[in-house]
A and B are shown apart, each in its own frame.
Chain A
Amino acid sequence: AQSVAQPEDQVNVAEGNPLTVKCTYSVSGNPYLFWYVQYPNRGLQFLLKYITGDNLVKGSYGFEAEFNKSQTSFHLKKPSALVSDSALYFCAVRETGNQGGKLIFGQGTELSVKP
């Protein structure tokens, strides 16, 4: 079965510093990986996805993610964090086969960016 893990419950970063939110995955076959962000009292919003191609994927709000097949990782990054980036971030993998369409989410990482 497909799964993703986010090893950090919380990440604290100072504004202007680079940020990384970690994600590792376990899939059989090709991985279809996503990052979503959840702001307080809101639904999840799509940030970016990796399907195939370049290992560095660029997404919304200046975020990018690096796919690393040998380390089975898909870490989310941003060169310079903003206070407004503070939110809950979810890594997800897409089920394939008969369960196509189902997104399996990691446990979430709370990002806190302080001024």
Chain B
Amino acid sequence: DTAVSQTPKYLVTQMGNDKSIKCEQNLGHDTMYWYKQDSKKFLKIMFSYNNKELIINETVPNRFSPKSPDKAHLNLHINSLELGDSAVYFCASSRLLRGTNEKLFFGSGTQLSVL
């Protein structure tokens, strides 16, 4: 069973389109995250949700809107896609929000290519 699953694995789209990436975890974790990995493999957090509540919102353009219908799901909707949005987006989860020794479980990533 896949612990953190995200779909689609690949997403190719035109500039200006709106797209969504879905993420689900079956670990019973309270906290979920979205990370962005750029072409140089640098990983940066975008958002964090704890029990459907937004906790961390880094300086991400408001074209990016996370949605958490329940604590097992955290979807990422992106409006008006731009070339610079091309990256690999990773969903992750952890058991607790402020457990400093908690490890993160990552999905396998969604490679977004904006043409």
Contact = CB atoms under 8 A, between A and B. Distances in A.
A42 B108 CA distance: 5
Interface in A53-112: 88, 90, 94, 96, 99-105, 107-108
Contact of B90 (A43, A96, A100, A104): A43
B75 interface: no
Interface residues of B, number: 30
Contacts of A46: 103-105
Interface residues of A, number: 25
Nearest to A48: B103
Contacts of A96: 100
B102 A101 contact: yes
Interface of A: 32, 34, 36, 38, 41-46, 49, 51, 88, 90, 94, 96, 99-105, 107-108
Interface of B: 4, 31, 33, 40-45, 48, 50, 55-56, 90, 92, 94, 96-109
